[in-house]
Structure 1
């Protein structure tokens, strides 16, 4: 074999060796990428699982499938009404309301002083039923959270005062601010003696959430179409465009004389 042929074969072997080395290096990089990608996938999966677990914990706190715990003193069928006023009052006003509902706030603003006057005089008893209509229409959970907090205030004997505070600080209808328990607890500070550890626990644990859900189901099964629904003598006086606070007062006084 000539020297030239030997040099050619040696060069070919060297090129082949270089090519094989390149292939081995490429294979190492490919394996490294696979391992790295797998590690990233595992990390992402761990993050996702962690987020899901955290959200699951949040859902449990607002679980509405637990036992129905009625607030203290609740009356009526299934204990779904919060009563305000003396049991001896001859007249009863039944109010279905949603703390996120602007129309409910407008009703409260117009009729509150008259209703309180009649209640204080022992002529009228009011039965409040709390619903979550706006949560269903606008999304969110502020109606339910606010209703639960109001029920917690009832446990503390502070329902009426806290009821008024919620309406006085009602957010815009599309703003689900009442879904924040810290906001509801902050507002409790406006009611003397309400912001206690027991109240905070009741709010944060959603103690009365299932009760609120049951109350809303009763509203739906009752065939009512909107909030507020205000019943006096079996009629929805809120739907009566001629109704005024003065007219309501006359009706209550007439019933008490009868």
Structure 2
């Protein structure tokens, strides 16, 4: 082999090695961003226990009165899970989330395409539990109002699209913009067929407020410490820093093959 050919092959190998290092660095930055956002939510919970206690009375008075009305199709204990995907899927992903939580948005941004792909293929069933952690941490009612609006979207058969729209338009954690029903209804206009008189009545009337509060109590009694809490087979995979969308897909597909 000529010296020129050897140099050419060596250069190609070097370029490939550099590209691999770039990909590894990008993946490390992505995981750091997501984990970092999650830590913010968890630390926020630990640092403001006194605020949670102080706000608990306000939260109860604002929206816990009246009967608990679960959204259409809700399943699981006390009807607290909103299912997405086929009932017969071999893998179930349980997600506890808060629409004001930036870590939840980070999770959605990274994993949404994979979750949609697996759910649409019938390989994964996702059970969403909506909570109001940030309302307790920072005050306000945006978590509650957004969760109620999402439950109203479930009544209309539009949960997943509206769920994604809320995260796509999430305000800063300290901005309680989702406390406005008008804001939530305007976002419903981005989902085809959702903004109807029945939907507006459900949002404005807080039809599912008590249901959201019950979900929050279940979250607390379950011993969870932050959002998102993402369970696959009972294991919190979101705490696994080696987890990636590709790895999750491999796990789900392996379970699907049996």
Q: So what's the TM-score if we normalise by structure 2?
A: 0.76
2:94 paired with 1:94: yes
Q: Which residue of 1 aligns with 2:223?
A: 223
Q: Which residue of 2 aligns with 1:171?
A: 171
> Partners in 2 of 1:179 and 1:249 — Cα distance?
35
Q: Which runs of 5+ in 2 are unaligned?
A: 1-58
Structure with larger Rg? 1
For these two proteins, the number of residue pairs brought into alignment is 200
2:141 paired with 1:158: no
> Partners in 2 of 1:174 and 1:133 — Cα distance?
13
1:31-88: CA deviations, max 9, x gaps? Answer: xxxxxxxxxxxxxxxxxxxxxxxxxxxx999531210000000000000000000001
Counterparts of 1:52-201 in structure 2 under 5 Å? 62-201=62-201
> Partners in 1 of 2:60 and 2:100 — Cα distance?
23
CA displacement at 1:171 relative to structure 2:
0.3
Contact 1:129 1:215 (C-alpha < 8 Å) held by counterparts: yes
Q: Which residue of 2 aligns with 1:9?
A: none
Superposition CA RMSD, Å: 1.4
Contact 1:61 1:206 (C-alpha < 8 Å) held by counterparts: no
SS at match of 1:129: strand
1:175-200: CA deviations, max 9, x gaps? Answer: 00000000000000000000000000
> Partners in 2 of 1:123 and 1:115 — Cα distance?
10
> Partners in 1 of 2:63 and 2:127 — Cα distance?
26
> Partners in 1 of 2:182 and 2:111 — Cα distance?
29
CA displacement at 1:233 relative to structure 2:
1.0
